[in-house]
Structure 1
Amino acid sequence: MALALVLMILLVVTPLLFILHTSVTPNDQWNVLAPLQVIMDAELSVVLTNSIILGFWVVAGASILALPMSFLTAKTSLARHKWLDVVLIIPFMTPPYIGSMGWMLFMQRRGFLEQMVPFTEELTPYFFSLFGMVTIMSLHLFPFLYLILRNALRRIGAGYEEAGAVYGGGFVYRFRRIFVPLLLGSYAMGALLVFVKTIAEFGTPATFGRKIGYHVLTSEIHRFTSSWPIDFSKATALASVLLATCLIFWYGQNLISRRYDYQTLGGKGSKVKLIHLKGWGRFTAWGYIVFLLATAIGIPYFSIIVASLQKLRGDGLRWGNFTLEHYQRLLTWGSPGMEALLNSLGLALITATIAVVIGTFLAMQIKHASRVSERVTDVFSLLPNTVPGIVTVVGLILLWNAPWMPIKIYNTYGMVVLTYVVLFLPYTVQYVKSGYQQIDASLTNAGRVFGGTPWYTFRRVVLPLLVPGMMAGWMMTFTISIRELVASLMILPPSMKVSATYIYAQFEQGEVSLGMAMAVISVGLTTIVLAVMNYRGADRT
């Protein structure tokens, strides 16, 4: 247990302490108020305000999208269409910077929308504004809120509605006095997740936000650590402010969740009553679903795929203007695109494997989190998923680039792997811990009764039962590692590129078709891996 705790302190806690220390010691002089003084600067205070405003608007946008959809799939006859739950995860699984690029290609001057519907050119200035940024991020993050609200709605049995109807309450009254209070705790948790993900997001602010001149904390932290003149004191001050903002909202969410925590499931079970949609109701519901899928999935993927096939962007949507040449250039052995793709695959494979080994070890040490040391280790293992990724990356840079550090891995391949492992370790820990907690002690006791050594019991009893969780953690880590942008931009050695930085660079340099071809290949690879792993997992069960 001591080794697990030390490991978490070294990998997760120490980088965050370095950020706090650097932020309060500008010019090597102790000043506790330094982060506040930095953020009170007129230019940087606007950045903080922009982040918070963006967070609240995206929560509002995600709520507008998620609430009707969750009600349709939980309380109406559309609940039998299970495929909707799978399809609605696609926006979240799409890297945000790729989705933003797709929307930009679709809505820009002479973009795909204007080429197909010329009179829509007047919409362009309105979209390339805060409204467009909120729209893009809401469409990316609403699945968080949707899944939480859908599950909460399904736990509300028909008895609550029938009780309200017996006393004369109409649908609107029942929704306002029954559904809303019962959903408030779950909504607070989902809204907080969306808010924190928004203010911690880097991909969309780095692409769309920079184009419209809307700067937020994450984009400014990246600017201070990557553009001359480098200013780590300001970067860490902004990182500490971002961290504090996230923690404050986490605390607020916990207060609301405890205040509005209701037990809706009892020993008697609950009857589910579905509203059977007919006529205009059914037409409206499917119209909303089609609209949501078209905007969240159809438009960005249409733009990405079409752009990857175009010979010349200036020739537009013309039949003779499509080619597979960009894919051929990318997949040619020795090309920069192929090197970037192989680097991504190699890093993702190594990261996922190391994360599974460390995560399994930690999960087995945490066990049921009954002791203080186990609970502390459990909290530390979740920190990378709670703290904004760019904050963790800045902390790792400060720690492993310190002059006294005996192991010089900064600016090496090993630093990239270490950063990825720290960022994505919580996935494996949680998946494996969930499986480990379901193993009854009688199984391991039976192994000991029949003379099995601890190693034999672990290898023949425990490990096979942990394999599904380990594979799920490996798959999630691999999928996210292969598309990671912010960490790659900040810690990759100068001569090294991965698929995410290659896409970003090609889009910035005007080689849009090559960048979008890489995006299609990257998303396709992760989809294939997910499909194969799910198929193998189904075979095992």
Structure 2
Amino acid sequence: MQSSRFLVPLCGAVLALLVGIPLLFIVLQAIFPHLAQGSLAAPLSHLQATLGDAVLLKLTANTVALGLAVVVVCALIGVPLGVLRGLFDVPFARFWDVVLLVPFMVPPYIAAMGWILLLQPGGYLQQLTGIHMAGLLFSFAGVVLVMALNLFSAVYFAVSRAVQSNGSRLAEVANIFGASHWQAFWRVVLPLVLPALAASLLLVFASSIEEYGTPAVLASNAGFFVLVTGIEQRFSDWPIDLPGAAMLSIVLMVLALSAWFAQRWVTAGRDYATNTGKPNATSPRTLGVWRLPVCIVFAAVTLLATMAPLFAVAATALTGTLSGGLRWENLSLRHFAGLFEQGSQALSAMSFSFSLAAAAAILTGVLGTLLAYTVLRTPGRAVAWLDGATMLPNAMPGIVVAVGMILAWNQPWLPLTPYNSWVILLMAYMCLLLPYPLRYAHAALRQIGSNLEASAFVHGVGFSRTLWHIVLPLVAPAVGAAMLLVFAIASRELVASLLLAPTGTQTVSLFIWRQFDQGSIGQGMAMSLITIAMTCMLLVAANGLTRWARSRVNAF
């Protein structure tokens, strides 16, 4: 294994380039207010004014309130549905799984625009029923509800799979030994579900505090501003406030790290393991007279979370004009035709986005595999530090990465810089999305163990040949699935693209955002529909690859 030690400095250098340098410059800019002018004068001179600013306190309080409120609503929706799906024979269970995954695949800013078109005065709801709900939508409660309907799927799937894997069988055992259904749930099912529930709620909190599109579209109209919109405002409004943006970025990252540590504290010492071997297949419990009410609940959530925003997106994309309303004679494909006209900005945006997303998928796949292999197979203190560094991208929201990239690579003394080129966008995508292939490769490598590599080394096979002919073929399906996810997410990423896109270029997300901003909503929604369809197909392919990978590993 000595020959694999070259991977430690290689992986460390790449992580420093993608993660360490941007993070360092955020901290330096927060300390030295004149860093952008090449001066280290007056360190911390602005700190008292910044930390004492009521705006900073208000933005932080709003961000925390929004994140916690979204977590609560996601738990209220996702946990009951997940428990029902895991414990009982829910009618049309596979159908509900598919349709409840769709909200998580719809970019939040597109979902927010769909809700505006649906609920605003003169919107589709008023055209169909005569009422509108603009008062609810453009309020704190409306923002929370829209974000929760977009994110609760993470809680639903985490809870349902955790209950299904062990909770259902062990709850039956508890019932046999005299426990009531509620006792079995509180003392058996819930403890087993707790780690998965905590992890999913952490994901919801982190996603909600770093989301830019929904707060920018909805919350600002309600006079509710958060850290993400505050950071973007300091870059877009004159005079540009780099120290303020850096300080807000640090506060946002501290919140994300605090959520991660809170999850570790909740689950520390609370992990439960079974010692009964491989779980036996059990039949889910019947719902009896509750079949219809449960179906109604699932249908109602599906209608709100999936069908309503998708209806608004599709209706806008397929109608000639918004003023024409929902009428047969207003149906048109002209928005789609406009996207594919020769020389259109849409074609250019798709070509640019898909090329960048493909490059990000390939590079993060390679880097994530090498990092996972290095951490699992190479001993030493340096590897422990490397393992800790791989956690940093999880705690860096997209806007923090973008701020760090700007501060690091827009320095006047740099002889060569990727700033204002497609390279900096690629670096930002890699930093943001590296955790996906890293986790998939880590899980795959832990499943196959190291005995096959040891056997190859014993028989005189070199390190590079062992890596190429044994390790990579076994982890390729899992990493391939992660690369598909990276491609799908990178091709629609908004906030980093908004701050870092080179002059004169557009990504798909920027094209959609600017169409909304310019009033060309129909063409923006046509592009949105294509984006959603592509994301769904890629995630289905990723799911198929993941299942194939597990079957191959089990065959070994």
The equivalent position to 1:13 in structure 2, one of 17, 20, 25, is: 20
Whole-Å Cα distance in 1 between the matches of residues 482 and 405 of structure 2? 23
Distance change >3 Å, CA 117–CA 264, structure 1 → 2: farther
Shift of residue 294, structure 1, vs aligned partner: 1.3
What per-residue deviation string (whole Å, max 9, x for no partner) do you get for residues 167-215 of structure 1?
Answer: 5x64445544554455444433332221122111112112222222211
Whole-Å Cα distance in 2 between the matches of residues 327 and 493 of structure 1? 26
Distance change >3 Å, CA 33–CA 69, structure 1 → 2: farther
Letter in 2 for 1:156: G
- Cα contact 1:142–1:194 (8 A) shared by 2: yes
The equivalent position to 1:4 in structure 2, one of 11, 14, 22, is: 11
Q: How many residues align?
A: 537
Shift of residue 445, structure 1, vs aligned partner: 4.0
Q: Structure 1 residue 191 and structure 2 residue 201: aligned?
A: yes
2:128 corresponding residue in structure 1 = 116
- Cα contact 2:159–2:193 (8 A) shared by 1: yes
Distance change >3 Å, CA 289–CA 80, structure 1 → 2: closer
Shift of residue 437, structure 1, vs aligned partner: 3.1
Letter in 2 for 1:77: D
TM-score (norm 1): 0.92
The equivalent position to 2:330 in structure 1, one of 321, 325, 328, is: 321
Q: Name the SS for the 1:109 alignment partner.
A: coil
Whole-Å Cα distance in 1 between the matches of residues 346 and 49 of structure 2? 44
What are the within-5 Å matches in structure 2 for residues 485-500 of structure 1?
Answer: 485-500=494-509
Whole-Å Cα distance in 2 between the matches of residues 461 and 341 of structure 1? 37
1:356 corresponding residue in structure 2 = 365
- Cα contact 1:369–1:375 (8 A) shared by 2: no
2:153 corresponding residue in structure 1 = 143
- Cα contact 1:115–1:316 (8 A) shared by 2: yes
2:342 corresponding residue in structure 1 = 333
Shift of residue 516, structure 1, vs aligned partner: 0.2
1:156 corresponding residue in structure 2 = 167
Shift of residue 325, structure 1, vs aligned partner: 0.8
Whole-Å Cα distance in 2 between the matches of residues 194 and 272 of structure 1? 31
Shift of residue 251, structure 1, vs aligned partner: 1.7
Q: Structure 1 residue 48 and structure 2 residue 60: aligned?
A: yes
Whole-Å Cα distance in 2 between the matches of residues 368 and 25 of structure 1? 41
Query: Which sections of structure 2, spanning at least 5 residues, go unmatched?
Result: 1-7, 35-39
Q: Structure 1 residue 62 and structure 2 residue 71: aligned?
A: no
Whole-Å Cα distance in 1 between the matches of residues 194 and 9 of structure 2? 40
What per-residue deviation string (whole Å, max 9, x for no partner) do you get for residues 331-360 of structure 1?
Answer: 112111111111111111122122223223
Shift of residue 56, structure 1, vs aligned partner: 1.2
Shift of residue 515, structure 1, vs aligned partner: 0.4
Query: Which sections of structure 1, spanning at least 5 residues, go unmatched?
Result: none
What per-residue deviation string (whole Å, max 9, x for no partner) do you get for residues 50-78 of structure 1?
Answer: 11111111011101110111111111112
Whole-Å Cα distance in 2 between the matches of residues 411 and 21 of structure 1? 22
Shift of residue 405, structure 1, vs aligned partner: 2.8
Distance change >3 Å, CA 465–CA 68, structure 1 → 2: same
Please say which of residues 40-49 and 305-314 is displaced more in the overlay. Answer: 40-49
Shift of residue 41, structure 1, vs aligned partner: 1.4
Whole-Å Cα distance in 2 between the matches of residues 451 and 287 of structure 1? 63
Whole-Å Cα distance in 1 between the matches of residues 30 and 407 of structure 2? 11
Q: Name the SS for the 1:78 alignment partner.
A: coil
Whole-Å Cα distance in 2 between the matches of residues 190 and 538 of structure 1? 21
Distance change >3 Å, CA 321–CA 474, structure 1 → 2: same
Whole-Å Cα distance in 1 between the matches of residues 454 and 75 of structure 2? 49
- Cα contact 2:336–2:523 (8 A) shared by 1: yes
The equivalent position to 2:315 in structure 1, one of 298, 303, 306, is: 306
Distance change >3 Å, CA 66–CA 369, structure 1 → 2: farther
- Cα contact 2:102–2:536 (8 A) shared by 1: no
The equivalent position to 1:401 in structure 2, one of 403, 410, 414, is: 410
Identity of aligned residues (%): 32
Shift of residue 252, structure 1, vs aligned partner: 2.1
Distance change >3 Å, CA 235–CA 59, structure 1 → 2: same
Whole-Å Cα distance in 1 between the matches of residues 185 and 535 of structure 2? 40
Please say which of residues 124-133 and 303-312 is displaced more in the overlay. Answer: 124-133
Whole-Å Cα distance in 1 between the matches of residues 144 and 436 of structure 2? 28
Whole-Å Cα distance in 2 between the matches of residues 409 and 296 of structure 1? 40
Whole-Å Cα distance in 2 between the matches of residues 36 and 160 of structure 1? 56
Whole-Å Cα distance in 1 between the matches of residues 435 and 206 of structure 2? 17
Distance change >3 Å, CA 10–CA 51, structure 1 → 2: same
2:256 corresponding residue in structure 1 = 246
The equivalent position to 2:50 in structure 1, one of 31, 35, 38, is: 38
Q: Name the SS for the 2:268 alignment partner.
A: helix
- Cα contact 1:185–1:258 (8 A) shared by 2: no
- Cα contact 1:72–1:79 (8 A) shared by 2: no
Distance change >3 Å, CA 455–CA 189, structure 1 → 2: closer
Q: Name the SS for the 2:452 alignment partner.
A: helix
Please say which of residues 426-435 and 128-137 is displaced more in the overlay. Answer: 426-435
Q: Name the SS for the 1:458 alignment partner.
A: helix
Shift of residue 96, structure 1, vs aligned partner: 0.8
Distance change >3 Å, CA 323–CA 393, structure 1 → 2: same
1:455 corresponding residue in structure 2 = 464
Whole-Å Cα distance in 1 between the matches of residues 446 and 96 of structure 2? 30
Shift of residue 385, structure 1, vs aligned partner: 2.3
1:133 corresponding residue in structure 2 = 143
- Cα contact 2:170–2:189 (8 A) shared by 1: no
Whole-Å Cα distance in 2 between the matches of residues 492 and 435 of structure 1? 35
Distance change >3 Å, CA 180–CA 159, structure 1 → 2: closer
What are the within-5 Å matches in structure 2 for residues 196-275 of structure 1?
Answer: 196-264=206-274, 266-267=276-277, 269=279, 272=282, 274-275=284-285
Distance change >3 Å, CA 370–CA 289, structure 1 → 2: farther
Q: Name the SS for the 2:90 alignment partner.
A: helix
TM-score (norm 2): 0.90
2:491 corresponding residue in structure 1 = 482
Distance change >3 Å, CA 510–CA 14, structure 1 → 2: same
- Cα contact 2:485–2:542 (8 A) shared by 1: no
Q: Structure 1 residue 391 and structure 2 residue 403: aligned?
A: no
2:4 corresponding residue in structure 1 = none
Shift of residue 296, structure 1, vs aligned partner: 1.2
Whole-Å Cα distance in 1 between the matches of residues 414 and 384 of structure 2? 29
Whole-Å Cα distance in 1 between the matches of residues 269 and 466 of structure 2? 44
Letter in 2 for 1:314: S
2:474 corresponding residue in structure 1 = 465
Distance change >3 Å, CA 32–CA 243, structure 1 → 2: farther
The equivalent position to 1:103 in structure 2, one of 110, 115, 120, is: 115
The equivalent position to 1:23 in structure 2, one of 10, 19, 30, is: 30
Please say which of residues 84-93 and 258-267 is displaced more in the overlay. Answer: 258-267
- Cα contact 1:73–1:79 (8 A) shared by 2: no
Letter in 1 for 2:251: V
Shift of residue 435, structure 1, vs aligned partner: 2.2
Distance change >3 Å, CA 35–CA 95, structure 1 → 2: farther
